[in-house]
Structure 1
Amino acid sequence: MACAIVPLDEQQVTEPSVVGKDRTLPALHPDRKEERCFVPYKPPPEDGSPAQVEEFLEHAKFITEDLEWLLALPHDKFWCQVVFDETLQKCLDSYLRHASRGLDPAGLPCSPAVAEAQRHIHRAVFMTFLRMATHKESKENFLTPSVFGEIIYENFLFDIPKILDLCVLFGKGNTQLLHKMIENIFTQQPGYYSDLDEAVPSVLQVISQEIPLDIKASTKLRLISLKYNTYSCVCAPQDLLDLVLYLCDSTTTIHAFLDIYPPACSTFQSHNFLSRLVSFYESAVPDIEKAVRKRNFTDKSLKEDLWKRMCHSCKRMVEVAHLLLQHSCLQPILEGFLSDYDEQFPIADDISLLQQGAAGSLGAGELESLLSSIRELLPDLGEGFLLACLQEYDYSSELVINNILEDRLAPGLDQLDRAMPRAPKEELPPVLSERSNVFDDDEFDVFHRDKVDMSRIWKGRRKGESAQEVLGDKQHIDAQRDRYRAYENVVDEVMVEPGAVYTLDGDYDDEYDDTYDVNQVGANDLDGDSLTITGSCLRGPCVASTRNLDRAFRRTQLALVLTSSLPVSAVCPSFRPEPAGSVVGKPKGQGQTQETLQDRRKKEASKGRGANHNRRNMADRKRNKGMIPS
């Protein structure tokens, strides 16, 4: 009969004693630990001497061999060494603390041998943590899940900082393995959720609206409460460097953890992490970028490295916001309203409309600002090349700078001349040159004349002129003399052919508008002295009958009066106005003068001249024929 398989935490082992008497011990006991000293990890030297490189390679060899020995131990021996060997935990912790991240300057190995040694250590450390996070290796080798949770929690084999470091160090290419490892840790030990909930406020201090850092002599960081914009303006170059490094490391670590283990997003969002992240991005990030651009460093490559890290930090913060939105806000409702909404109205169409609106919202002020910000960091690049890059990357200056520094441009951009200038703008014709105005080319047309006689322009009375001088100035009258001299030419009769029109000089005007040729304008006027010519019109001051000579003469004389400064008596001595009549006379009963009686007779006699003024004659005729009783 086969013996029952029990977990490692319930197993007992019998070991021979030195005295000669065997003893029985639990499978997990300190006495079963092997005596082996694990050395702590040290990063490779930067541009070190051959002796330093050799020392690092020997040190790395010790670590690799010790970890490979540990991984080769059986299940019970492995856990005894992991739980009770303090040097092993110090070795693992030192690697998590000092190992190079992707953007660290020390991330580039100084020789192929160093790079090979780094790869061996990296793999051995990862495999050790992966085995430590596995409570069941096979049907025969496993731990009770609850006991496994207590072992890793009480002995600090895993904690929140270690889990965050594991994600940022080993996340690339190992996402699925890390996800299963962290899921198993949180599942078997729910206490890690409480630790994560307590750790989030500390993480939030990194992206607070206040400066989170103060650089001490020991290069350690502690929290202070200085306003961010104040700090960014007064901090020293080394302080700014440490600030950017810390921000880059923090945002990269947070993103790696949430990307590998999305269930943690709910814990972060319970502390209003998303809104505080957005607030920090809008208020603090522009100040840091401004400080990096304006700070003068002795090493130009250092400034480029800082800007590269700032772009990386901004990208990671945006990705963190996306993860929080996706797993805390969108994912819970995808199976509800949104799924039904998407069936009738595809959300992809709505998003496409929003993208089209955003693409056309970039103005010419904004475009110049993007070019200026990029050229402050990379002054050697031409504006034409930068414009092509901005169009390729949706006008994201951070993405453009990051891809240029990392030499990861699109194939089409990589073939362009990096000093390519900006294409000249097409000059539009000026509005003033296209204008049309009745005052064009006159003496006051300032748009076509460089000089204007300003002496002819004034407001009100000229300085130094009296009212008598103003009234005595007849220049405007003299300018009209030639116009009114035309009225001196009086003709007795003008013969006009039907349909022809003549001007004052007798030339035929073929351009005359024949609007009035059909309509007899003025033909029915009650002016017996006027002459009407059917189908034609006379232009100019012409008189067609001798009966109008007196009227024309009076007009001519009046025009001369208007254009002359002489009195009326001097200009037209033959002009005699008709005496005023005395038809009214004196009141009735007082008698009338002889002149009044004569005027009344003249008036009575004049009533018989045409029109409706012959009423008396017609009345006499009716009376003589018996039509009106006497």
Structure 2
Amino acid sequence: MIGQNLDDSNKNFNPNKLPLDGLKLTLIANDGVRRQLPALDVHWLTRDKTFHSYICMLSSYGRTKSGAALDEWQHIAASCLQDFEFLLQLKHHEFWSYMVYDESAMASVVTFLQRANPYYRKDMDSNAAEGNDVALINAKALYAQLLNRTIRVVMRLLTSKESPTEWITQQQHSSLLYDNYLISVPLLCDLVIAVGDADEQNLKTLQNIFDAVLRIQPDYKKDLEEGLAFYENAFLSMQIQVENEGCEGAGGGVLLYPDAETPYDDVVLFALDCAYTLRLLIQLCPALLAACEQLKIVQSIANFYDLTVPMLYRNIFLNNAHASSLRWLNEARQQFLNVVRRITSAQLKSGHGQQLVELLQECLSAQTFVVDYQRQYPVQQDIDLLLELCPDIKNYKVDFVVTGYQKALSTCTNGILADELVANILNSDDEEDDDGEDSLASALTASATVENGIARDIDLEVSAVLDVLPDLGMGFIRRVLNRYENSEQAIAAILDDNLPPDLLHMDRQEVYIPADPQDKLQSQTGVRHYNVHDGDKYDVLTHDNPQCIIKQGKGLPGAPRNAEQLLDDKRDINQLKQRYQQYALVEETSNECGAEYDDEYDDSYEALNDGQAPPQSLLRTKLQQASAAAASSAYEAQDAFEDDQDDDDNASDDGDQNVATNVTKRMDFCENPELIRERYQQRQMAKYGQRAHVDVVGGPKGTGQTQQTMRNRNQKETHKSSRANHNRKAGAAFKRSKGMMS
């Protein structure tokens, strides 16, 4: 304030060595009046102008400004440098008063860190090779001074004691930093990207800053853990931008800046920034590893790596095969792999074997991530070390994880993300443009015809699209199919008007003209033919073994030369002989040695079918007619067996009667069913007596019935549904099968 100065006696203004919150300074006005003010007060803001806001030295997408834009940057950067030096030269209480009460002072520091050159993009500048550009050299030197002063301002904020008389209590220091947002998680992230770990001294500086922040205010650890949850939303946002091709403002939309090489440069740079920031945060603050496990950062990285990164590669490559964003995306991949490696290494060192195995197992579904991770960090080595530290882990889970990672790498015959193809194209800048277009066309053809090792039928997919959208041209449909994995995705993109920018305004009636095979043949052999079959599988000039018969002279190879040779051809007759000789291979055996059917008969089956005839063999009847004597002996043996079953007392009499009956029966084509039932009834009576006969008929009507007859009738009425009335069809079928037609 004008007209007020510090008391000359306050040259040693803090003789009692009071902290900043308890220190008061004496002011003397022009009229000699003395008054005391707190050391931390808005009164000490004597600067008339505000602090400058920094602008980025780089233009869009990593290119250093030049010309008038670079001159403008140098002017603003020089003003910011003066502002930072002004803050560093202030006294202890004045510095804190400016940082707390002057918002533009802290805003100047924050804007510089937000717009600082990322340390990993130093070599991206195409003008970096121009070492003789004096303006560029001076600009880089000025930027280095700005970064140095900014770090000094941050370090002064974290310094609680500058001298015995200029110090601040830990409680007030923590409150000033945390409550006034002088140090925040976004500021720490920006500081990490601006300084980086390319130099060992820079890494030590960052480590000191993080240690001081966590020591002064432990709540920053909680804020950092909550900040890690941002990455899940970041991955989802990038995936949505890549998938929404053609939408304004999305990854595949119209170019927002003329300096962009592809519509996806913003997405790639954002992914690169996220990857470097996450890796450095974990490296500088190992306490965040536990939060990474809880938030499943590794699983999020694996899904992003498997779903979004390949799509980014394909879209960028098809837009511009020489785009710098392909190289940036490779760097992002590497950094994400390093993040996963740090987390798995921490789990391995801490002995969390079960968590490590489960983590690797959950990532198996992301095949692209698994292949790249297995290439750089073989899982087998970690598992071997893990089994030494934790021998109690279940072996079947460990074997499953190791086998899964090894199999994924072995089945990947080429780079999933086309690393080699991109490298070859980026290194072929000196070749002719035609050759580059041919290589790009062949690459697109390969990517369109082969998907995961399975050949695609482009013609079939074109037909599928034409069935739904018959107004489109085949040329346009083929171009769309080259950008998508199948016809369903292509149809959905066309109907939603969500095509890539290069296809959005193309002629949809484009006609497809297939390549002329003669051109390819001429480039291979140097000879041009004029035949519709040139170059196909029947061409004898280009194939050593064509799929056709080569005719030389009269007739065909193997054909008869004349009519006499044609008539003497007996090959058809020999084939017929061989055919009929196969019928002579039937085995013939005699009846005595091994007949197919046995004459022995077991009438025990009759007991299973009451009222039905016993089984009868047609073969035995045939043999009976041929030889009556042999049949009689067989019948006697059978009757003897039946007599043993019925009753031992009447064996001789029943045997004689059965012999005569069986002889007569087998002489007839079909035996009388009455005789069969009578014979069966005799056996039943001989075996069971009166129990075998159930009288339900009784005496004549009107003479009265016995009590036993009535009881039998009731029993039959009660149980008739269990067999008789419901098995007529089965009984009739059984009779017909035995030759008893009625």
Give TM-score scaled by structure 1 length: 0.51
The answer on whether the counterparts of 2:42 and 2:97 sit within 8 Å (CA) in structure 1 is yes
1:11 aligns with 2:29: no
Counterparts of 1:138 and 1:334, CA distance in 2:
46
Counterparts of 1:108 and 1:446, CA distance in 2:
58
If you compute each CA radius of gyration, which structure gives the higher value, 1 or 2? 1
Report the Cα offset of residue 22 of structure 1: 1.6
Q: Which residue number in structure 2 is paired with residue 92 of structure 1? A: 109
The answer on whether the counterparts of 1:208 and 1:276 sit within 8 Å (CA) in structure 2 is no
The answer on whether the counterparts of 2:80 and 2:146 sit within 8 Å (CA) in structure 1 is yes
The amino acid across from 1:26 in the alignment is P
| Residue 193 to residue 64, structure 1, CA distance change in 2 (3 Å) | same
1:239-276 alpha-carbon deviations (Å, 9 max, x no partner) = 31221122122222222222222222222332111111
1:141 to 166, 170, 184: 166
Report the Cα offset of residue 166 of structure 1: 0.6
| Residue 379 to residue 362, structure 1, CA distance change in 2 (3 Å) | farther
| Residue 125 to residue 147, structure 1, CA distance change in 2 (3 Å) | same
Bigger mean CA deviation after superposition, 28-37 or 99-108: 99-108
| Residue 466 to residue 164, structure 1, CA distance change in 2 (3 Å) | same
Report the Cα offset of residue 200 of structure 1: 2.3
Q: Match of 2:306, SS?
A: helix
Q: Match of 1:15, SS?
A: strand
Report the Cα offset of residue 35 of structure 1: 1.5
Q: Which residue number in structure 2 is paired with residue 56 of structure 1? A: 73
1:195 to 216, 220, 223: 223
1:315 aligns with 2:334: yes
The answer on whether the counterparts of 1:33 and 1:77 sit within 8 Å (CA) in structure 2 is yes
The amino acid across from 2:314 in the alignment is K
Counterparts of 2:214 and 2:349, CA distance in 1:
21
1:121 aligns with 2:139: no
Counterparts of 1:294 and 1:360, CA distance in 2:
26
1:223-250 alpha-carbon deviations (Å, 9 max, x no partner) = xx96999x99954565312211221222
Bigger mean CA deviation after superposition, 51-60 or 365-374: 365-374
1:39 aligns with 2:52: yes
Q: Match of 1:137, SS?
A: strand
State the aligned residue count: 381
Q: Match of 2:263, SS?
A: helix
Q: Match of 2:303, SS?
A: helix
Counterparts of 1:23 and 1:205, CA distance in 2:
55
| Residue 204 to residue 18, structure 1, CA distance change in 2 (3 Å) | farther
The answer on whether the counterparts of 1:206 and 1:212 sit within 8 Å (CA) in structure 2 is no
Aligned alpha-carbon RMSD (Å): 4.7
The amino acid across from 1:375 in the alignment is N
Report the Cα offset of residue 343 of structure 1: 8.8
The amino acid across from 2:318 in the alignment is K
Report the Cα offset of residue 377 of structure 1: 4.3
Q: Which residue number in structure 2 is paired with residue 260 of structure 1? A: 284
| Residue 232 to residue 114, structure 1, CA distance change in 2 (3 Å) | closer
1:293 to 285, 302, 317: 317
1:184 aligns with 2:248: no
Q: Which residue number in structure 2 is paired with residue 437 of structure 1? A: none
Counterparts of 2:568 and 2:209, CA distance in 1:
106
1:316-349 alpha-carbon deviations (Å, 9 max, x no partner) = 111111222233x22322899999975999xxxx
2:351 to 333, 340, 343: 333
Q: Match of 1:311, SS?
A: helix
1:233-244 mapped onto 2 (5 Å cutoff): 235-236=253-254, 238-244=262-268
Counterparts of 2:55 and 2:237, CA distance in 1:
35
The amino acid across from 2:20 in the alignment is L
1:19-34 mapped onto 2 (5 Å cutoff): 19-34=31-46
1:366 to 414, 422, 434: 414
Counterparts of 1:24 and 1:211, CA distance in 2:
60
Q: Match of 2:205, SS?
A: helix
1:146-197 alpha-carbon deviations (Å, 9 max, x no partner) = 2111101111111111110111111333222222222222232233233233
- Structure 1, unpaired ranges of 5+: 215-224, 383-444, 459-463, 474-630
1:83 aligns with 2:100: yes
Q: Match of 2:79, SS?
A: helix
| Residue 359 to residue 181, structure 1, CA distance change in 2 (3 Å) | same
Q: Match of 2:26, SS?
A: strand
1:371-410 alpha-carbon deviations (Å, 9 max, x no partner) = 445434444699xxxxxxxxxxxxxxxxxxxxxxxxxxxx
The amino acid across from 2:171 in the alignment is S
| Residue 26 to residue 361, structure 1, CA distance change in 2 (3 Å) | closer
The answer on whether the counterparts of 2:57 and 2:117 sit within 8 Å (CA) in structure 1 is no
Counterparts of 2:246 and 2:67, CA distance in 1:
44
| Residue 344 to residue 310, structure 1, CA distance change in 2 (3 Å) | closer
1:250 to 274, 288, 303: 274
| Residue 243 to residue 50, structure 1, CA distance change in 2 (3 Å) | closer
The answer on whether the counterparts of 1:248 and 1:309 sit within 8 Å (CA) in structure 2 is yes
Counterparts of 1:340 and 1:446, CA distance in 2:
59
The amino acid across from 1:161 in the alignment is P
1:103 aligns with 2:115: no
Q: Match of 1:13, SS?
A: strand
Report the Cα offset of residue 94 of structure 1: 1.4
The answer on whether the counterparts of 1:100 and 1:107 sit within 8 Å (CA) in structure 2 is no
Q: Which residue number in structure 1 is paired with residue 233 of structure 2? A: 205
| Residue 275 to residue 64, structure 1, CA distance change in 2 (3 Å) | same
Report the Cα offset of residue 455 of structure 1: 5.5
The answer on whether the counterparts of 2:239 and 2:304 sit within 8 Å (CA) in structure 1 is no
1:324 to 325, 343, 354: 343
Q: Which residue number in structure 1 is paired with residue 606 of structure 2? A: none
The answer on whether the counterparts of 1:209 and 1:283 sit within 8 Å (CA) in structure 2 is no
The answer on whether the counterparts of 1:60 and 1:117 sit within 8 Å (CA) in structure 2 is yes
The amino acid across from 1:331 in the alignment is K
Report the Cα offset of residue 367 of structure 1: 7.2
Q: Match of 2:25, SS?
A: strand
Counterparts of 1:143 and 1:201, CA distance in 2:
34
- Structure 2, unpaired ranges of 5+: 1-13, 129-134, 256-261, 355-382, 392-397, 432-544, 561-565, 576-742
Counterparts of 2:166 and 2:150, CA distance in 1:
22
| Residue 323 to residue 71, structure 1, CA distance change in 2 (3 Å) | same
The answer on whether the counterparts of 1:247 and 1:313 sit within 8 Å (CA) in structure 2 is yes
| Residue 246 to residue 50, structure 1, CA distance change in 2 (3 Å) | closer
The answer on whether the counterparts of 2:161 and 2:167 sit within 8 Å (CA) in structure 1 is yes
1:271-420 mapped onto 2 (5 Å cutoff): 271-296=295-320, 300=322, 303=323, 305-327=324-346, 329-333=347-351, 365-366=413-414, 371-379=420-428
Q: Which residue number in structure 1 is paired with residue 526 of structure 2? A: none
Identity %: 17
Q: Which residue number in structure 1 is paired with residue 362 of structure 2? A: none
1:150 to 172, 175, 179: 175
The answer on whether the counterparts of 1:160 and 1:192 sit within 8 Å (CA) in structure 2 is yes
Bigger mean CA deviation after superposition, 316-325 or 44-53: 44-53
Q: Which residue number in structure 2 is paired with residue 71 of structure 1? A: 88
1:221-620 mapped onto 2 (5 Å cutoff): 235-236=253-254, 238-296=262-320, 300=322, 303=323, 305-327=324-346, 329-333=347-351, 365-366=413-414, 371-379=420-428, 456=558
